[in-house]
Homo-oligomer: A and B are copies of this chain.
Amino acid sequence: MNKIVKGNCIDILLELDSDSVDLIYFDPPFYTQKKHSLRAKNEKKYEFSDSWDSIDDYLSVIEKCLTECKRVLKSTGSVFLHCDKAASHYIRVVLDKVLGVKNFQSEIIWTYKRWSNSKKGLLNSHQNIYFYSKGKDFKFNQFYTDYSATTNVDQILQDRKRTSTGKSTYKTDENGEVVLGKAKKGVPLSDTWEIPYLNPKAKERVGYPTQKPVLLLKEIIKLCTDKGDLVVDPFCGSGTTCVASKLLERNYIGIDISEDAVQLANDRLEKMIVTDSNLLKKGSSSYIEKSEEDISLLNTIGAIPVQRNSGIDGFLKDHFEGKPVPVKIQNRNETLEDTIEKLEKASRNKKYNLKIVVQTKSENENSRLFEFKTDVKIIKSNKLLIDELRR
């Protein structure tokens, strides 16, 4: 597990156990009948050929490969097949055949803004991803997005009933007051995703043609796998799928027929560890989730986040008595004392005039905080204040 393998994807797939894979991201050559090439920053030229004798020739390769994919997939597994307009309809016919019409789940549209060209007609700015599950009980993590700006959320919290004619209306009790319904989670994720196209200057770019943004792959992986699950990419190219899997702590196997691609993907995974380790220094593997919450909190108090200091999460934009004000947010796994100590340690020798800890958990009864001598000021997070209201 967690490797990039050089070889024909069918051969390599044959070596995998049946019912062992959670997600397959299938991104074959698009049947453009062209040779794709691109020069990387180090001037190395990467290319692959997407020329075929005929569409049938092309499709038969796809079909064989998909059949093998189906075999290695767990019964709860899914395939995401990425293609573009050129052959998407023929490929979907194959998908229907191999995986079954019933297991078609969604046509995902990936839209992006892009450079215009002089083509007569509309500017091409989407690609299609077909989502098929192996069976009925596929793994799916529901994600929710914000309500539209025009939605009256206040209203939709109400319960409803049916009138005699079968129309649905909002329910009121005997006093004419509205009846409130159950908690709302937000809007289920749509099948149209707007994710920026990989910018030609993006650092992420490694110079491989048709490289996909990591964001797109992360989205797909989060949707259909959990931590520790296995993701396979039979046409992995520059290894974006593997990078995304690694970031999300999924296992991965990438396959590509080109020695260059395998080399490149491996390099990318190496380097990622390097850039990643800075983040790891800061805290735990929960970095990604925790940081979003914390960044919101730092935002609300007007603080600038600091990434590489385990004792300090940020500094207030406004100094206090001429000195910066360090802020630390209590971590889920820390006692308040721990938090204070870390902040104190990090600010030793720095004569800050004000140091702030944001408390995020209630103290338990045998807290000895009152015995604790510190000049750190403690404020309770708004979330904690609300939790206390619930008591």
Contacts and interface: CB of A to CB of B under 8 A. Distances in A.
Contacts of A185: 317
12 contacts: A85-B107, A88-B107, A106-B121, A111-B190, A122-B190, A152-B309, A178-B349, A178-B350, A180-B352, A183-B324, A185-B317, A356-B386
Interface stretch (A5-13, A46-54, A141-149, A239-247): A141-149
A248 interface: no
Nearest to A292: B299
How many copies the complex holds: the figure is 2
Given A106-B122, A124-B106, A288 B149 contact: yes
Q: Which of A39, A119, A223, A350 has the most CB of B within 10 A?
A: A350
Contacts of A183: 317-319, 324
Contacts of A149: 284-285, 287-288, 307-308
Interface in A159-218: 165-167, 177-178, 180, 182-192
Given A123-B191, A183-B318, A386 B379 contact: yes
A150 B389 contact: no
B188 A123 contact: yes
A192 B350 contact: no
Interface in A301-320: 301-302, 304-309, 312, 315-320
A98 interface: no
A279 interface: yes
A59 to B, nearest CB: 12
Contact of A354 (B121, B320, B390): B390
B182 A125 contact: no
Contacts of A379: 382, 385-386, 389
A304 B144 CA distance: 11
A153 interface: yes
A154 interface: yes
B180 A146 contact: no
